[in-house]
Amino acid sequence: MIDHCCAEMTRQADRRCGTHPDVFACPDALVRYEPKFREYGLIVHDGGSAYREIAFCPWCGTRLPQSRRDGWFDALEARGIDPWEDRVPPEFEDERWLREGPTDPAAPAGQDPPPSR
């Protein structure tokens, strides 16, 4: 789980609607949080899945973390993975790839990440 800037953002970003499994189909959904890009956006209710990236929280005014969208593509490219053609590793489906160092919290810090399986 990610700590968002405030309770309202947490409520919105983690919002699950029982009626609309797809947040873009839910008229009450305001904010989209994309964990793998660490990106926040306002949902554009045009029937598609568009959102406008936002730099500040609409509720508390906190500056939101900068989108890592470019870094995501760079990191995949560094592994020789084409996100359009190849299967994206599971750690790239959410924010796990953004964590530096070993993915296992029990592993001692300062060591190389374990080899990918």
Alpha-carbon distance of 116 to 83, in angstroms, equals: 17
Closer residue to Zn ion (CB): 60 or 107: 60
Size of the site for Zn ion (CB under 5 A): 11
Half-sphere exposure of residue 31: CA atoms within 13 angstroms, side-chain side = 21
Q: Are 89 and 116 in contact (CB under 8 A)?
A: yes
Q: Tell me the window of 13-21, 45-53, 82-90, 106-114 that interacts with Zn ion (CB under 5 A).
A: 13-21
Closer residue to Zn ion (CB): 24 or 73: 24
Within 10 A of 43 (CB to CB), how many other CB atoms are there? 20
Restricted to residues 23-82, the positions that interact with Zn ion (CB under 5 A) are 26, 57, 59-60, 62
Binding site for Zn ion (CB under 5 A): 5-6, 9, 17, 19-20, 26, 57, 59-60, 62
